[in-house]
Homo-oligomer: A and B are copies of this chain.
Amino acid sequence: MTLAIGIDVGGTNIRGGVVDETGKILKRARLSSDSRLGKGHFLNQLKKVVDELGVVAAGPPLLQGIAIGLPGIVDPAQGIVYASPHFEDWKNWNAVNDIEKLLGRRPEIDNDANFAVLGEGWLGAAKEWPHYLMITLGTGIGGGIVIDKKVWHGDRGFAGEFGHIIVETEGPRCFCGGRGCLEMFASATGLKILIEEAPEAIDKRDFLRLCDKEIEGITMEEVYRLAQDGNSFAISLFKRVGFYLGVGIASLVNTLGMERVVIGGGIRAAWDFFIGEAKKEVGKRTYKETAARLQIVPSALGDDAGILGAAARVFTLS
């Protein structure tokens, strides 16, 4: 038996697992990542998680390696994290060197989204697919591109930033400095902007009364619950999200010529409320040969995708 340690770091938690070659998670550990407390604190927490998993001392052949998914722009070849949306002091950080010192062995690192993408290819929605892309819709939009079973990172790890495909040149201002990025429409952040920009009408007033809070505080889950209750405004919001998601997928499909797309992230729960509109737009905006063959499927591994994908990197170096 050969094992891997897969770690998935988010802005809130560090989650780790000991994974065997069949993808079974034999042991789990979890601690808060406390992104506001800085890099030193994060490294301490990371060490505790890895120690708790307990097989590190074993070394090869039992423990084949450790891979860690980090939230941010990661260049796996250089071992560098250029920046992170959660950790302010991760700037041009040589993470691989620091973590090697910490753990006494050199980890593989990658962007957390890329490991989730790989996990879906190993054991989830993209099993058997040599080429696919995955779009993850959460607070923001992440994603990844897989070509011949390997993540395509671009020249230095910046590939897969699908949130910053531009769909309206003069649309809402985005955190990235641009305008009208996909993330401003088809994400939890986008949902709030769509609420704000919807014209005043009875159904919007009803919706806001039911939410009973500032728009800023409304979550995707609440909108989903209201949509399930039949609230027409909540339903129309997911249709708008689906519309923009479809536009984004069309741009990606026309660029990459890929026929297989996995959709992940929190919005997946509301699948039935947005996927019809998304598919309709993709169908209008791509060649009909492509549209006819295009498969758009929900991710299958949930929160474990990142841990499993990290383990997949260890086992296959894919």
Given A164-B286, A250-B164, A285-B176, is A257 in contact with B153 using a C-beta cutoff of 8 Å? yes
- Could you say which of B159, B167, B284 contacts A167, with CB atoms under 8 Å apart? B167
A93 close to B (CB within 8 Å): no
Contact check, A285 vs B247: say whether CB atoms are below 8 A apart. Answer: no
Whether the Cβ atoms of A285 and B164 lie closer than 8 Å is yes
Q: Is A274 interfacial (CB-CB < 8 Å)?
A: no
Contact digits for A138-167, partner B, Cβ 8 Å, 1 yes 0 no: 000000010100001111111111111111
Smallest beta-carbon distance A70→chain B, Å: 16
* Cα distance, A288 to B154, chains bound together (Å): 15
State whether B257 touches A159 (Cβ < 8 A).
Answer: yes
Q: Is there a chain B Cβ closer than 8 Å to A316's Cβ? A: no
A207 adjacent to chain B (CB < 8 Å): no
A150-201 interface with B by 8 A CB criterion: 152-169, 176-179, 181
A154: B residues at CB distance < 8 A: 131, 256-259
Is there a chain B Cβ closer than 8 Å to A82's Cβ? yes
Determine which residue in A154, A156, A257, A293 has the highest number of CB atoms from chain B within 10 A of its CB, and name it: A257
Q: Which A residues are within 8 Å of any B CB, using their own CB? A: 73, 82-83, 131, 145, 147, 152-169, 176-179, 181, 243-244, 247, 250-260, 284-287, 289-290, 293
A sample of 26 cross-chain residue pairs with beta-carbon separation below 8 angstroms, ordered by A number, consists of A83-B287, A131-B154, A145-B255, A152-B256, A154-B258, A155-B259, A156-B257, A156-B289, A156-B293, A158-B254, A159-B258, A160-B255, A161-B255, A161-B257, A161-B287, A162-B254, A165-B254, A165-B255, A167-B167, A167-B168, A168-B169, A176-B287, A178-B250, A251-B251, A251-B255, A252-B255
Looking at A153, A158, A247, which has the most chain B CB atoms within 10 Å of its CB?
A: A158
Which of B145, B155, B181 makes the CB contact (< 8 A) with A131?
B155
Contact A160/B285 with A131-B154, A166-B250 known, Cβ cut-off 8 Å = no
Instruction: Report the minimum CB–CB distance from A137 to chain B (whole Å).
Output: 16
Q: In the complex, what's the smallest C-beta–C-beta distance from A241 to chain B, in angstroms?
A: 13
- The answer on a CB contact under 8 Å between B284 and A155 is no
**A158 (CB) vs chain B CBs: closest residue:** B257
Contacts of A82 in B (CB 8 A): 287, 289
Q: How far is the CA of A153 from the CA of B131 in the complex (A)?
A: 11
Given contacts A176-B287, A289-B73, contact A147 B158 (CB under 8 A): no
